[in-house]
Amino acid sequence: MEEFVIATLRYGTPLVYVTLAGVLAQRAGVWNLGLEGLMIIGCCAAVLGLVQTGSLLFGMALAVALCVIASALLWFVIEKLRANPIIAGLGMTGLGLGGTDLAVQAIYGSQATVNAPYGLPRLGTEFGDFGVLSVLVAAMPFVVFAFWALLRRTRFGLQLAASGEHPFAARSVGVSPARMRLIALCVGGVLCALGGAELALGSLTIFAYGMTAGRGFMAFSAVIFGAGHPIASVAASLFFAIVGALGIRAQLVFGDRVPNDLLLALPYIATVIGIWISARLRGGAKAASAFGELRDY
Amino acid sequence: MNTGGQREAAVIEAIPSEAPSPSALQCRDISVQYGEVAALVGVSLAFAPKLIHAVVGQNGAGKTTFARVAAGLVKPVSGTLAIGGKEIPTGNVGLARAAGVELVHQNFALPPSFTVAEAMEFGAERGRPFFSRRGLEARWKKHLENLGVRAGLRDRIRDLPVEAQQGVEIARALVADAKVLILDEPTAVLSPSGIETLFERLKSLKASGVTIILILHKIREVLGIADTVTVLRGGRLVEGPVAARATNARRLSASIIGAQAEQEIAGDEAALVGATDEIKAAPVPAAVSQAAPVLAMERVFTRSDSEGPGLEEASLSIGRGEIVGVAGVEGNGQRTLVRVLANLVDAQSGRILLGGEDITKTPLSERRARGLRVIPFERNSEGLSLSSALWENWSARQLVLGSALKLINPARYRKACDASLKEWDVRYHTTAQPAGSLSGGNAQKLILAREIDADASLIIAAQPTRGLDVGATAFVWRALREARARGCAVLVISSDLDELFDISDRLIVMLSGRIVAEFRPPYRLGEVGAAMTGAH
Amino acid sequence: MTARLFAVGRAIAFVILALALCGVIFEFAGYSAPEMFQSIADGAFLNPGAWQGSLRWALPLFITATGVIISFRSGYFNVGAQGQFYIGAIGTTFVVDFMNGYPAALVIPLCFIAGIAGGAIWALWPGLLRVRSGADEVITTLMGNFIAGLILIYVTGGILKDPSGTGQVMASRPVAPAYRISSETGLSPTIVGAAIVVGVVMWILVNRSAFGVLAGLAGRNPIMIVWQGARMSRLGLAGFMLGGGLAGLAGAMEVLGPNGRLVSGFLPTLGFTAILIALVAGLSISGAAIVSLFFGGLASASLYLPVLAGLPAAAIDIINAAIALFITARAAPGLGWLAARRRAVGGA
């Protein structure tokens, strides 16, 4: 049982951080499909920064800085150039995947996996079996609570939600939805960096091409599933993590008797089912998804 | 501005010259440009403090733009703005609010998912930025009570009736220390008694020292409440502020419409001025057929949904050559009525008969094939695809009827569209231009050209004149009367009672999804108004 | 006409902006941007024989892109072309594997049908979830891509596995020569002919049929067309399944044509690139024919770069991604559709 909880937390913690980034963007009215790309930039920058300088702090700082810059670029394209957020987000994802690939090849000359000498600090033996988890796992509940409080119990949170739901209302009380979106995306960039760093340095201490494997999209789905509510969305992402951990567990238990590749598909299938359920519960967007376009009014 | 002499005299009367206190709101030479359209041209105005000022004009006269400039929401290309004698930068909501200017929007600017307490808080400027749910409610309870707004603090905005939403919006505008409160068309969505409540509220605000600027278009309402009147036309200041008691309905309507246009639309002045207590009905058509009705709804019941309450046992019949008007405060099931007739919502029970045949389960395309035509509520979303070409919009009705795999020759449709639009007097360059490039009146004519054809037997016109100027409005009514003369049954939904009184052969009133009353001419405003609010 | 030229100009301007961003990234990563662009141009168009390579990639991209155009035009963001391509390819491989020995005149058409059906089925379920329940099609089709990729790994490592394979690359048994429709060059009368037929049929469907006009209206304003009595669910499903079917057809042609067998994870960027072609072409079929050549050139260059120029192929992914980032910027051609829809839906 403990093993299973640990597996779930390992799978789920990066997902939770990135989900929070998605929640911020969603509440500000941006469909952020660039989460996948931002997350892998976080993975790559943290590992390469650590490997190249030997300093974990530098790696983390590099991850945060690059993710924030990439988020600001995405904001510029969506808000200022008025690009379609979904396509631009997919472009950002492609840029993250391609850019990290290019960076690894530029440094190492091949697409090989990069091994880090060590990872994030662990909780340590006083936590028993849970000691193998990183500090970011332990911090996760507090971060979730902090963002819940920020989004649901502060005026800033209300203004952010107004910017997404009814931008004209926000503007008519003097709040700039554009600035709110910039803040939401950049803070989301920090969260993506943390999620990426946890994925690469939490338990694995490696960077491999495409290692996020759709987790950014899963986080986005969790946001849709949770209707942009921080707690509900985080719960949805933990649900996907449980499914993922079950798949891993099944591989260990059943070995070759079940097709491993299909077990790997479980989280994606769970995501589809989650989206379907949430659409059924809320009536869905039968006619007009408006292609995720930003709203001015 | 040939009224110059009078105007100056009136200004002097309204605003004591060499006033000790500066104007509550003063703008000089404001011009606003939307793309190629000049929304305001060199408007200079000063409003004296602690009075109720009305700003009137037709649709498109620049009233809303003026309100938004004053509130800092729209940045003018030129001009200055001063609040309480102090000049503030234009186009900055924060500074305008800090100076005490608040704007209540026509369609309410509150996020629908917010609770009332949250809607109060998100626009507040002082106080702790963190709150607990209970603390938030405690904080705003008193404020709402003082203003007499009846709404639970936990109610969601989207669940409130329009009157309460407006109350909340006004309360929201007053969370800060408002000195100038601007209301954009606040009466458009209210019932007659709702309007009275609103006016009482405004009078008590005025007594407490708030300067109120009301954007209105009904002269009757203006003369009933305002201390001064200002008229805009085509983005220019025509006259004002003049003291309300120094003017009269006739003079105001003349300056709203403009002298040269006056002859064309003389008959529609009543709609502009607003009904006095009683208004003469349109002449009853020569022969309302006694044969089977074109449309018969029998005890139709639908579920309520996000777009409004469901219908409860709605029964209605319309005969050939008859125009039936639907009155009611917005959101009382009018949308559902139109949607159930268009098969966009299912009837849970009851029957709908079109031309004597049961169409309760028939899809819309089939209903349209049998002569149903719909002019929907929202011209720009339900009526037209703004980015599609005129000919595509025009041919949609015919294309839907045939097989989707039918090969077509676009040139033929363009030609037919061209001929039809010419007949309907639509002003356009080419049938390939997007529908969004048409003015509101021309866009509505395009919809009429599509929906009113020789095969139409029942025409549903939902808010067909909303947002149109006087000329286009007159055109729409003429078209519907002509359709009636050809034997069409017509169902008209409007929130403008004066228009309904003018055109309807019969009038039904909807309240909470029920058809609560039916009237025949002559209509009495008092009776119809009472039915709209359930006091019937 | 001037509007059209203006739109083309905007598209080119944003592609150039994207290339500039790529130049910055290349320099930042320590490569010489001019050298990189020179090598890409060489690999795509300038070297002798480069045009054949570009055309080889342009054809499947064009076929897939026409499908994307249909579903985008009818108002649905079907971004699952990659998965639909894979499932189509798998369907084809099953047919060719189990019908080994039958005459080619029977097997090849069946393979095409299987490919189209496979792609259409992989578009059907997100389509149904969308029109019946309103489940967001962007996520379901994206997830469909991941699932299809795993199914591809599963079948190439299991049921369809080539027993003589080395184990390094999972792949199916090679397609028997009798059923091949082209050699490795990917250029044969069958393939070119199929692409032309698809292009002409889709052009007629978009520009000369009631479906084209209605889908166009639905794509720009789904609400209006519903009030006209059209059934969005049918239009939408038709768009979805046509899109999936065409991606599946491209899959069939890859298996029977240049690839000659089913390979795990093959052509991993085809779906995304097809979406880009559709958007850069402003959702026009004739435009897509030209734009496909450009992206076909880039695809061809991504093979050339690591082998002959010693540069990473990731450069091409970055160029594609950067174009995606910018191409829908307002008033760019593809965007007219999207922006207009926003206005129609949110219009004040």
- What's the pLDDT at A297? 54
Chain B touched by C149 (CB under 8 Å): no
Higher pLDDT residue, B310 or C166? B310
* Cis before B522 (ω within 30): yes
Distance CA A258, CA B175 (A): 64
Count CB neighbours of C75 within 10 A.
26
Distance CA B124, CA B173 (A): 9
Count CB neighbours of B429 within 10 A.
8
Alpha carbon separation from A283 to A296, B199, C77 (Å, rounded): 24, 39, 19
Q: pLDDT digit string (tens) for B133-172?
A: 888 888 888 888 888 888 888 889 888 887 888 888 888 8
Q: Which of C16-20, C196-200, C220-224 has the lowest mean pLDDT?
A: C220-224
- Please state the domain extents for chain C: 2-341
Å from B109 to nearest chain C CA?
12
Chain B touched by C116 (CB under 8 Å): no
How many whole angstroms from its chain centre is CA A28? Answer: 16
Question: A192: closest CA among A41, A55, A1?
Answer: A41
Query: Which of the four pLDDT bands, split at 50, 70 and 90, describes residue A216?
Result: very high
Q: Match 């777009």 to its residue by tokens.
A: B307
> What fold, for A2-122+132-281?
ABC transporter involved in vitamin B12 uptake, BtuC (1.10.3470)
- What's the pLDDT at A111? 77
Are B385 and C337 within 8 A, CB to CB? no
Query: Which of the four pLDDT bands, split at 50, 70 and 90, describes residue C345?
Result: very low
- What's the pLDDT at A287? 40
Segment A261-266 shows an average pLDDT of: 84
- Highest mean pLDDT, choosing among A282-291, B259-268, C239-248: C239-248
Segment B420-427 shows an average pLDDT of: 89
Per-residue pLDDT at C201 exceeds 70: yes
Query: Would you call C91 exposed, middle or buried from its count of C-beta atoms within 10 A (0-12, 13-18, 19+)?
Result: buried
- What's the pLDDT at B16? 45
Per-residue pLDDT at B387 exceeds 70: yes
Helix (H, G, I), strand (E, B) or coil at B100: coil
Query: Which of the four pLDDT bands, split at 50, 70 and 90, describes residue C89?
Result: very high
- What's the pLDDT at C135? 86
Average pLDDT, chain A: 88
Are B410 and C208 within 8 A, CB to CB? yes
Per-residue pLDDT at B265 exceeds 60: no
Å from A27 to nearest chain C CA?
17
Chain A residue numbers touching C131 (CB-CB < 8 A): 286
Distance CA A11, CA A33 (A): 20
Higher pLDDT residue, B101 or B125? B101
Å from B69 to nearest chain A CA?
11
Cβ atoms C68, C275 nearer than 8 A = yes
Are B93 and A154 within 8 A, CB to CB? no
Per-residue pLDDT at A235 exceeds 70: yes
Per-residue pLDDT at C309 exceeds 80: no
Per-residue pLDDT at B286 exceeds 60: no
How many whole angstroms from its chain centre is CA C270? Answer: 5
Are A168 and B105 within 8 A, CB to CB? yes
DSSP output for B473-519: HHHHHHHHHHHHHTT-EEEEE-S-HHHHHHH-SEEEEEETTEEEEEE
Question: C284: closest CA among C226, C203, C184, C224?
Answer: C203
Query: Which of the four pLDDT bands, split at 50, 70 and 90, describes residue B9?
Result: very low
Q: pLDDT digit string (tens) for B202-261?
A: 999 999 999 999 998 778 888 889 999 999 988 889 887 889 888 888 888 888 877 554
Chains with at least 3 CB pairs less than 8 angstroms from chain B = A, C
Per-residue pLDDT at C177 exceeds 90: no
ipTM: 0.88
Chain B: residue nearest C212 by CA? B404
Determine what percent of chain C is predicted with pLDDT higher than 70: 93
Per-residue pLDDT at C342 exceeds 60: no
Per-residue pLDDT at B100 exceeds 80: yes
Å from A89 to nearest chain B CA?
25
Longest dimension (CA), chain C: 65
Residue from C273, C328, C335, C341 whose CB has the most chain A CBs within 10 Å, to mutate: C328
Chain A touched by B34 (CB under 8 Å): no
Q: Token pair of B6, please? A: 């009078």
Measured at the CA of A158, the angle between CA A153 and CA A160, to 5 degrees, comes to: 120
Using H for helix, E for strand and C for coil, what is the string for B43-97?
A: EEEEECCCCEEEEECCCCCCHHHHHHHHCCCCCCCEEEEEECCEEECCCCHHHHH
Per-residue pLDDT at B125 exceeds 80: no
Per-residue pLDDT at C58 exceeds 90: yes
Chain A: residue nearest B117 by CA? A158
Are C346 and A265 within 8 A, CB to CB? no
Count CB neighbours of A51 within 10 A.
17
Chain A residue numbers touching B114 (CB-CB < 8 A): 158, 161-162, 165
Which of C207, C217, C231 has its CB closest to that of B396?
A: C217
Q: Token pair of B265, please? A: 């639309």
Count CB neighbours of A53 within 10 A.
12
Determine what percent of chain A is predicted with pLDDT higher than 90: 53
Helices (H) and strands (E) in chain B, counts: 18, 22
Q: Which amino acid is at C162?
A: D
Segment B297-318 shows an average pLDDT of: 88
Higher pLDDT residue, C37 or B1? C37
Count CB neighbours of B187 within 10 A.
22
Using CB atoms and an 8 Å cut-off, which of residues 78-137 of chain B contact chain C?
107
Segment C290-304 shows an average pLDDT of: 91
Question: Which distant-in-sequence residues (6+ apart) come within 8 Å of B524 by Cβ?
Answer: B277, B278
Distance CA A269, CA A262 (A): 10
Which of C232, C312, C341 has its CB closest to that of A101?
A: C312
- What's the pLDDT at B276? 47
Chain C residue numbers touching A225 (CB-CB < 8 A): none
Chain B: residue nearest C232 by CA? B400
Chain A touched by C203 (CB under 8 Å): no
Å from C202 to nearest chain A CA?
23
Beta strand B372-375 with B458-462 is parallel
Which of C134, C135, C325 has its CB closest to that of A88?
A: C325
- What's the pLDDT at B270? 54
Segment B184-193 shows an average pLDDT of: 83
- What's the pLDDT at A194? 96
Residue from B64, B399, B429, B466 whose CB has the most chain C CBs within 10 Å, to mutate: B399
Are A290 and C341 within 8 A, CB to CB? yes
Counting one residue from chain A and one from chain B, the pairs whose CB atoms sit within 8 A come to 60
- What's the pLDDT at A236? 93
Measured at the CA of B260, the angle between CA B255 and CA B261, to 5 degrees, comes to: 80
Chain A: residue nearest B131 by CA? A153
Which of B105, B122, B133 has its CB closest to that of A162?
A: B122
Distance CA A35, CA A48 (A): 20
Q: Token pair of B320, please? A: 């050939």
Per-residue pLDDT at B7 exceeds 50: no
- What's the pLDDT at B291? 65
> What fold, for C2-341?
ABC transporter involved in vitamin B12 uptake, BtuC (1.10.3470)
- What's the pLDDT at B2? 43
Cβ atoms A231, A144 nearer than 8 A = yes
Using H for helix, E for strand and C for coil, what is the string for chain C?
A: CHHHHHHHHHHHHHHHHHHHHHHHHHHHCCCCHHHHHHHHHHHHHHCCCHHHHHHHHHHHHHHHHHHHHHHHHCCCCCCCHHHHHHHHHHHHHHHHHHCCCCCHHHHHHHHHHHHHHHHHHHHHHHHHHHHHHCCCHHHHHHHHHHHHHHHHHHHHCCCCECCCCCCCCCEECCCCHHHCCCCCCCCCHHHHHHHHHHHHHHHHHHHCEHHHHHHHHHHHCHHHHHHCCCCHHHHHHHHHHHHHHHHHHHHHHHHHCCCCCCECCCCCCHHHHHHHHHHHCCCCHHHHHHHHHHHHHHHHHHHHHHHHHCCCCHHHHHHHHHHHHHHCCCCCHHHHHHHHHHHHHHCC
Cβ atoms A8, A146 nearer than 8 A = no
Q: pLDDT digit string (tens) for A155-191?
A: 999 999 999 988 999 998 889 999 999 999 999 999 9
- Helix locations, B260-333, DSSP H: 269-273
- B190-229 per-residue burial string, b: 16 or more CB within 10 A, e: under 16: bbbbbbeebbebbeebbeeebbbbbbbbbbebbbebbbbb
Segment B32-50 shows an average pLDDT of: 87
Average pLDDT, chain B: 84
Using CB atoms and an 8 Å cut-off, which of residues 253-282 of chain B contact chain A?
none
Q: pLDDT digit string (tens) for A14-26?
A: 999 999 999 999 9
